[in-house]
């Protein structure tokens, strides 16, 4: 009899413990839920808005295709929520876009290709692991074939205007061969031969139907994402007033047709420093500049 009573009391005790534990868990869960609600009210992570109709270089982006929509959303999300990087890109655009836009217009290339430069280099004098250089990321062989001077002293892949014109030549050639600016953009990453081969092998005629390597399959969508973000930064949560954008540096041009053995001394004679001279002329790759007979270079110095 005593054993039975003790057994019943034990069960009751266990039930009381479990009840208390459940009550504590319930209170803890309620407290957690309240905390997350409060956090969510302050820090909201949402899907950025994407227009129903998007054009790239005058060509429609077929968002009705599920694969197209998902790939586009990936790039929009990646760049919207990499806030520090995108904010810097927006600021740099104020410095470089006026020149790039002018050259694109003069060369008859769609304005949207300025976002290709953003995707390529982040508007920085970048160097890729493969050796591509400058804002437009030319390999040495491609750069020289499109008219850029590349030596140990001079590398015009870093000359923004000349490299932009070389990129325009490439893009116009690709457009003429592929009959699509979107495919021309893809070819800038994949190469003309690669895109031609992919189109033939897969029996399709446009970028959005191609099955490509990871880099090229993301490439055009990254350009589109930058177009959306840069055209409507406030709509994606980036708050910048005009004064916060970097601006083009005001310079004066100096024609140079003789060798400069000491660029630091040249800079000082022209009221600037070696540092500023190199930053304003990143195509100068040494501390001197050999100028051969018949050659002429234009150096920019602060005005």
Three-state secondary structure of the chain: CHHHHHHHHHHHHHHHHHHHHHHHHHHHHHHHHHHHHHHHHHCCCCCCCCCCCCEECCEECCCCCHHHHHHHHHHHHHHHCCHHHHHHHHHHHHHHHHHHHHHHHHHCCCHHHHHHHHHHHCCCCCECCCCCECCCCECHHHHHHCCCCECCCEEHHHCHHHHHHHHHHHHHHHHHHHCCHHHHHHHHHHCHHHHHHHHHHHCCCCHHHCCCCHHHHHHHHHHHHHHHHHHCCHHHCCCCCHHHCCCCCCEEEEEECCCECCHHHHHHHCCCCHHHHHHHCCCECCCCECCCCCCCEEEEEEC
Q: What is the pLDDT of residue 29?
A: 80
Q: What is the pLDDT of residue 24?
A: 62
Domain ranges of the chain: 55-127+179-244, 251-302
pLDDT tens profile 228-274: 999 999 999 999 999 999 999 999 999 999 999 999 999 999 999 99
pLDDT tens profile 178-201: 999 999 999 999 999 999 999 999
Q: What is the pLDDT of residue 33?
A: 82
Mean pLDDT of 63-67: 97
pLDDT band for position 17 (cuts 50, 70, 90) = low
136 close to 164: Cβ distance less than 8 angstroms: yes
Q: What is the pLDDT of residue 100?
A: 98
| Residue 44 or 292, more confident | 292
The percent of residues in the chain predicted with pLDDT above 70, rounded, is 92
- What is the chain's mean pLDDT, rounded? 93
CB under 8 Å to 213, separation ≥6 — which residues?
A: 190
Q: What is the pLDDT of residue 45?
A: 87
Query: For 124, phi and psi rounded to 5 degrees?
Result: -130, 155
Q: What is the pLDDT of residue 40?
A: 75
CA-CA-CA-CA dihedral for 23, 29, 30, 33, to nearest 10: -170
Task: Reply yes or no on whether the pLDDT at 9 is more than 70.
Answer: no
Mean pLDDT of 103-116: 98
pLDDT tens profile 83-100: 999 999 999 999 999 999
Task: Reply yes or no on whether the pLDDT at 13 is more than 70.
Answer: no
Q: What is the pLDDT of residue 216?
A: 97
Task: Reply yes or no on whether the pLDDT at 4 is more than 60.
Answer: no
Q: How far is CA 220 from CA 151, 154, 239, in A?
A: 32, 31, 26
The whole-model pTM stands at 0.87
Task: Reply yes or no on whether the pLDDT at 18 is more than 60.
Answer: no
Q: What is the pLDDT of residue 2?
A: 52
Task: Reply yes or no on whether the pLDDT at 76 is more than 80.
Answer: yes
Task: Reply yes or no on whether the pLDDT at 11 is more than 70.
Answer: no
Tokens of 2: 């005593």
Tokens of 243: 């004064």
- CB neighbours of residue 150 within 10 Å: 19
| Backbone CA torsion sign across 214, 218, 220, 222 | negative
pLDDT band for position 34 (cuts 50, 70, 90) = confident
pLDDT tens profile 155-184: 999 999 999 999 999 999 999 999 999 999
- Residue 170, Ramachandran bin (φ over 0: left; ψ between -120 and 50: alpha; else beta): alpha
Distance between CA 302 and CA 249 in Å, rounded?
8
119 close to 89: Cβ distance less than 8 angstroms: no
Nearest to 46 by CA among 75, 81, 79: 81
Burial of 207 by CB count in 10 Å (0-12 exposed, 13-18 middle, 19+ buried)?
A: buried
Q: What is the pLDDT of residue 266?
A: 98
Task: Reply yes or no on whether the pLDDT at 5 is more than 80.
Answer: no
């Amino acid at each position: 009899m005593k054993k039975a009573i003790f057994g019943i009391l034990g069960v009751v005790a266990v039930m009381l413990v479990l009840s208390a534990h459940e009550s504590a868990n319930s209170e803890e869960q309620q407290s957690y839920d309240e905390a997350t609600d409060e956090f969510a009210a302050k820090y909201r992570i949402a899907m950025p808005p994407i227009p129903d109709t998007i054009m790239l270089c005058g060509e429609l982006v077929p968002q009705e295709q599920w694969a197209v929509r998902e790939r586009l959303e990936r790039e929009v999300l990646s760049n919207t929520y990499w806030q520090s990087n995108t904010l810097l890109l927006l600021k740099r655009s104020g410095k470089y876009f006026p020149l790039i836009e002018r050259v694109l217009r003069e060369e008859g290339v769609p304005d949207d290709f300025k976002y290709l430069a953003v995707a390529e280099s982040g508007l920085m004098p970048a160097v890729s692991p493969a050796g591509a250089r400058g804002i437009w990321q030319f390999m040495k062989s491609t750069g020289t074939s499109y008219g850029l001077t590349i030596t140990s002293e001079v590398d015009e892949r870093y000359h923004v205007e000349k490299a932009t014109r070389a990129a325009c030549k490439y893009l116009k050639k690709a457009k003429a061969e592929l009959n699509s600016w979107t495919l021309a953009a893809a070819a800038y990453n994949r190469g003309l031969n690669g895109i031609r081969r992919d189109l033939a092998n897969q029996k399709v005629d446009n970028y959005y139907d191609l099955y490509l390597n990871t880099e090229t399959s993301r490439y055009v969508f990254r350009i589109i994402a930058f177009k959306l973000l840069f055209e409507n930064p406030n709509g994606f949560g980036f708050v910048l007033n005009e004064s916060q954008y970097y601006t083009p540096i005001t310079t004066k041009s100096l024609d140079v047709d003789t060798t400069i053995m000491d660029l630091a001394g040249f800079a000082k004679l022209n009221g600037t420093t070696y540092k500023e001279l190199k930053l304003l002329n990143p195509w100068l790759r040494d501390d001197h500049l050999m100028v051969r007979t018949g050659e002429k270079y234009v150096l920019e110095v602060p005005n």
